[in-house]
Structure 1
Amino acid sequence: MIYKKNILAAAVLSATCAANANTAPTQELTKKDPLTFQQWHLQNTGQTGFSLSAGQVGEDLNLDFSDRMGIKGRGITVSVIDTGVEISHPDLVNNVVPGSKNLVDGSDFPTDNHGHGTAVAGLIAAEEGNGLGGRGVAPYANLVGFNFLDEQSVASWMVSHGLNEDFRALDRFTDPRVFNQSYGSTPSAPVDGTLANNPRFALEEQVMQDITLDSHWGRGAVYVKSAGNSFRNYNAYIQGTRFLVLPYENNQFFNNQGLPFHDANITSSNTTNWNLVVSALNADGKLSSYSSVGANVFLSAPGGEYGQDRPAMVTVDLTGCDKGSNVSGAHKNALHGGAELDPNCDYRGTMNGTSSAAPNASGAIATVMSANPALDARTVRHILASTARKTDLTHDGVSINFESATGEQVSYDAIPAWQTNAAGYNFHNFYGLGAFNIDDAVYKALFTGVSLPELQTTQWQLQEANVAIPDASLAGAQSTTVVEENLTIEAVQLKLNVDHERLRDIAVELTSPSGTRSVVLSARTGFLNGTDGGFTNTIMLSHHFYGEQSQGNWTIKVIDTDKGTSSTLIYNQNIGLFRTNTANNTVDGVLKDWSLRIYGH
């Protein structure tokens, strides 16, 4: 019955769409609430977002058609797993449904003492047309919230990520079909991927798999994950003391030759197939200055900059001028400090980070799901992938220059520019398969009546290598394995065992049978593991091969790109500045073995 109704609705909307195909988009969505006109991520007309500069017209989520058709997330519940949510906020309360939990005191009120989770909830589903603040991407969607970051036990993780208190999957119509995770960490050393040494991660992955595939009577759910905010630097705690960690090259601070200091593939929760990892775009449609990136990024979404010199996100804040981000006092963002449009400081114009990109993605997913609720989660992901748009079209990727071990100056294509893989999908390590394109995805969802074939996952396929990694040489260490299964690829996981004393030098490439080269780990990643480095069953993920066929020869290449001229700095204002990773590896590294696992159909 649901399917037939969707097809009927699709037929009606098709005629409407055709009639409006050549008309300019209306500006109505910017007029319904007092702050919506500055929410550039919804409709970018060159607003400032109350900052000091404007964005680029048209660089937004593209939801004008969906807005006119009233397709705005109705019937889809999104779980905000964060610092909590002020569920009584006047711009959220009418969209909150039963199911929130305070994981500290057990009540139904997930108290937010920070404001981060409340701002995230507002980006997803702040109410529309109530004369207050702005609106969410999916203003008709339902919300539940959890203060997981205040209580991060295994039990709290289970409840906030889709199980009830008896640890059984939920299937009520008001249970979440989208889980927003605007949190994460930047590890300062490679993660040991041996599941026997990390049973919690193995348990969490199994729960996400079950809920993704089997919850909601087989329709499943989508887990959205922020990529991270460590492109230029990150913070690490050493014996409880906070240090800034940053690259140093050619006698320049923060110089990483244009490469990300944090590759998002180093965070273990970003490497599971069940998390849809999102990088952040600014109001010009380019990578936000802070956004972590990598081959594991699925899509990119608006995250903004900092809301002072350049636009951030306009969203809800904790109520009152004495808490949250917007408090009394002067501020470079014109909305802050008790502005005329928001005298009670219930909103903010400074929300940013991949913490913002994730809820914008969650709102987009809820919108597409509401267009055709019968579609399963994998099919929704596929629709998003097949309708994503290229952004920052002229980005040339990143090439680095280094002196080889034999004294020659060489250039290495460290991150390729936009590539089209053998299946016709565009990919860039900064942007994944592209930027969210809500209208095209909604239109495609309306006319999609059949879900993807059942997911098939290959066993880990081990390939012994024991190949030396020559120092500072483009030759690298190579090894090839043959995959017999012929699946249409949805994702590829790589498990790696490498001995190498100076992992900052290492780049890891994987080439498919179709010839597509994916940089699974970029060079110059900022580790702090000293001189005893290596990868032990370290898992990485790539979406670069989306839609290609898996059968054939797969080749890995591990390249050492530096003979010790770059280094890593750690800084604390009270303790001082220290330099690490300065000495080059004394012996060549070794690619010991590697494994592949294919997800596809």
Structure 2
Amino acid sequence: MYIKKTLLSCCLLGAFSSLAADHLTNSDPLTPYQWHLNNIGHNGLTTNTVAGEDLNLLNTDMQGIKGDGVTVTVIDSGIELTHPDLVNNVITGSLNLLTGTVTPTDNTGHGTAVAGIIAAQANNNIGGRGVAPNAHLIGFNYLDAQTMSNWLQSHGMPLTGSANSRIYNQSYSSKPALFKNVDAEEHTLSLQLKERVMQQVSLNSNNGLGALFVKSAGNAFYQYTTFFGGTSFQVFPYEQQQPFNNAGLPFHNANLSTDNASFWNMLVSAYNANGKLASYSSVGANIFLTAPGGENAQSQAGIVTTDMSGCTAGFNTINSTIDIPLQNTGLDSHCDATAAMYGTSAAAANTSGAIALAMSANPQLDARTIKHILATTARKLDGSNAGIDINFTDANGDAVSYNAIPGWQQNAAGYNVHTFYGLGAIDIDAAVAMAQQTTALLPTLQVSDWHTANTELTIPDANVNGVQDTLAITDNLTIEAVQLKLSIDHSRMRDLAVELISPSGTRSVLLSPRTGLINATGTPVQNALLLSQHFYGESAAGQWQIRLIDTDNGTSQTLVYNEQAGLLSMNDTNNNVDGTLLSWSLRFYGH
């Protein structure tokens, strides 16, 4: 099916490696500070960085592969289309969804910064450069006008206009406080419509080459903000009488958002210039890859990219303190750039740029094959990360430990997987080399029916053994992703861990305990949708096991805060009855 790198390609790669300079060959004044492109160990504006923790694109750049012929749609706050570092890469197709004009005005600078990470022009003596500096850009200000019709238009439907994009960058995320019932009447039609549209664009656009939807995982590792009745609340954990203490575990799981559990969205977490998970990055079993996202530039290295032109708009303004290190360089007197961009928004943009390079290296490959190549060539980041154990007192009063976040494991297909990093960090040079030598596409995608178990089972309180159930699967598929649909009656969902174990023994924690879920009183969780990437390449056939573990006897709780309402405590007493697993279903995507 796939042609691996031949001796010739390896020799060519070695030749380019010997030719590649320590720095990108570039005349742009801020490129030396773009550690995400070439991390040489001391090119952060506010701190040193760790050499090699970057996208690894020097060989690709030396070959002149820069994203030519690939269009990226930026679905965001808009783009400043006339920005001097973007204007030459902007093509027709952008739309202001508020006014109907072709200028999607950016009122925050976020979309402009994202666009610059992807495709700021290189070698024009302005600012820095993008990952794919010759790629084309289209922009929509969808974040200003989030209707279903605007979603459809910005995400490629009908298959005209923006549907010539090969990549759709979605540097935004929702942070729900509870699961959505995907089979509820009020949600079904809109969810099914989005799924159909993304499937059609992913597989059938661009004359059958398709497109990839890239999405940020979210910035909610420690706390998040959500809305109740249209009012904003800050939500954060309380453990051992300490606010913001969550026993080291992620507080908001990326799987809580239904969009993030869609097979069609390639979800990305963020790492920093030291090669570790970025402090804010949301994580989960649905993370496909990780990419540079940086940290707050006032303490660690952020991402250098385009900003709104001039010193009165965007991040880098005359009165702002966040870009003082950049201002002190004297290299950006017009305030057209920023070094303060960070987040999974930046990680998604870096991923979109990487995909553009791989696609331009071999324009004959379809989107799913490119995605497979990125997975196959991803590198193991933060290799000593052993995951996270949580200690608690069980219902019998005994001290027990539960491995809530597994460390790196190699699944049965040979892929390294981790809850923080998915299948690993993007390695552009390796992906491009493989793309250049690949002539066969992935076989046609197949999607299984839902396989359901309806046996009601008791989830014992504060019991590390939990409850187990199995499903026998006969689908003869090589897995590309697995979806789990789950119904549970439990009054303290934050106590629960939900594991799925493949026939080959790979263990994936789809819902880690201490997630900041807020239960509606007396209301079971119905038809919650979760996704795992940890079984990539394995066979679907065999006995699958689900495991649910209650990891708390009532010592932790969730706090919510609003200036008007004050500080409120949620889930502050332990469940007085055991929970119940009502039903669970599995669906497989593969070939």
TM range (shorter): over 0.9
Match of 1:142 among 121, 136, 141: 136
Map of 2:159 onto structure 1:
168
Map of 1:29 onto structure 2:
24
Structure-1 separation of matches of 2:538 and 2:297? 40
Matched residue type, 1:135: R
Map of 1:19 onto structure 2:
15
Structure-2 separation of matches of 1:115 and 1:333? 14
Determine if the alignment matches structure 1 residue 544 to structure 2 residue 534. Answer: yes
Determine if the alignment matches structure 1 residue 523 to structure 2 residue 520. Answer: no
Matched residue type, 2:385: H
**Alpha-carbon deviation of 1:332?**
5.1
Give the 3 Å change call, closer, same or farther, for CA 380–83 of structure 1 in structure 2: same
Secondary structure of the 1:423 match is coil
Q: Residue by residue, what CA displacement relative to the aligned partner does 1:437-483 show, whole Å, maximum 9, x if unpaired?
A: 00000000000001011011100111112000000001212110111
Structure-1 separation of matches of 2:564 and 2:28? 47
**Alpha-carbon deviation of 1:240?**
3.8
Give the 3 Å change call, closer, same or farther, for CA 259–534 of structure 1 in structure 2: farther
Q: Residue by residue, what CA displacement relative to the aligned partner does 1:138-163 show, whole Å, maximum 9, x if unpaired?
A: 00100000000111111111111012
**Alpha-carbon deviation of 1:206?**
0.8
Match of 1:67 among 61, 71, 89: 61
Q: Is the 8 A contact 1:258 1:398 kept in 2?
A: yes
**Alpha-carbon deviation of 1:55?**
1.2
Match of 2:170 among 159, 177, 181: 181
- Superposed, which structure 2 residues align to 1:126-141 within 5 Å? 126-141=120-135
Structure-2 separation of matches of 1:503 and 1:363? 38
Map of 1:257 onto structure 2:
247
Structure-2 separation of matches of 1:181 and 1:377? 17
Matched residue type, 1:84: G
Determine if the alignment matches structure 1 residue 98 to structure 2 residue 119. Answer: no
**Alpha-carbon deviation of 1:534?**
3.0
Q: Is the 8 A contact 1:485 1:551 kept in 2?
A: yes
Q: Which runs of 5+ in 1 are unaligned?
A: 1-6
Q: Is the 8 A contact 1:502 1:533 kept in 2?
A: no
Map of 1:111 onto structure 2:
105
Map of 2:271 onto structure 1:
281
Match of 1:420 among 410, 429, 434: 410
Map of 2:338 onto structure 1:
348
For normalisation by structure 1, the TM-score amounts to 0.95
**Alpha-carbon deviation of 1:586?**
1.5
Matched residue type, 1:197: E
Q: Is the 8 A contact 2:492 2:574 kept in 1?
A: yes
Give the 3 Å change call, closer, same or farther, for CA 286–157 of structure 1 in structure 2: same
Q: Which runs of 5+ in 2 are unaligned?
A: none
Q: Residue by residue, what CA displacement relative to the aligned partner does 1:396-423 show, whole Å, maximum 9, x if unpaired?
A: 1000000000111000000100000011
Structure-1 separation of matches of 2:58 and 2:321? 32
Q: Is the 8 A contact 1:44 1:56 kept in 2?
A: yes
Structure-2 separation of matches of 1:112 and 1:516? 44
Matched residue type, 1:312: G
Structure-2 separation of matches of 1:549 and 1:115? 45
Matched residue type, 1:115: G
Secondary structure of the 1:400 match is strand
**Alpha-carbon deviation of 1:319?**
0.5
Give the 3 Å change call, closer, same or farther, for CA 30–260 of structure 1 in structure 2: farther
Matched residue type, 1:168: L
Structure-1 separation of matches of 2:218 and 2:15? 42
Q: Is the 8 A contact 1:78 1:143 kept in 2?
A: yes
Q: Is the 8 A contact 2:316 2:322 kept in 1?
A: no
Match of 1:582 among 572, 578, 581: 572
**Number of aligned residues:** 587
Structure-1 separation of matches of 2:523 and 2:361? 49
Structure-2 separation of matches of 1:331 and 1:17? 43
**Alpha-carbon deviation of 1:48?**
4.5
Structure-2 separation of matches of 1:410 and 1:363? 45
Secondary structure of the 1:465 match is coil
Give the 3 Å change call, closer, same or farther, for CA 555–81 of structure 1 in structure 2: same
Secondary structure of the 2:291 match is strand
Map of 1:491 onto structure 2:
481
Give the 3 Å change call, closer, same or farther, for CA 171–374 of structure 1 in structure 2: farther
Structure-1 separation of matches of 2:329 and 2:21? 28
Map of 1:4 onto structure 2:
none
Matched residue type, 2:39: N
Map of 1:196 onto structure 2:
185
Secondary structure of the 2:298 match is coil
Q: Residue by residue, what CA displacement relative to the aligned partner does 1:543-593 show, whole Å, maximum 9, x if unpaired?
A: 000000010000101111101110011123454322211111121110011
Q: Is the 8 A contact 2:182 2:191 kept in 1?
A: no
For normalisation by structure 2, the TM-score amounts to 0.96
Secondary structure of the 1:29 match is coil
Structure-2 separation of matches of 1:537 and 1:430? 25
**Alpha-carbon deviation of 1:24?**
7.0
Structure-2 separation of matches of 1:332 and 1:160? 32
Determine if the alignment matches structure 1 residue 380 to structure 2 residue 375. Answer: no
Give the 3 Å change call, closer, same or farther, for CA 176–335 of structure 1 in structure 2: farther
Q: Is the 8 A contact 1:49 1:314 kept in 2?
A: no
Structure-2 separation of matches of 1:186 and 1:316? 27
**Alpha-carbon deviation of 1:313?**
0.5
Matched residue type, 2:170: Q
Match of 1:82 among 76, 79, 93: 76
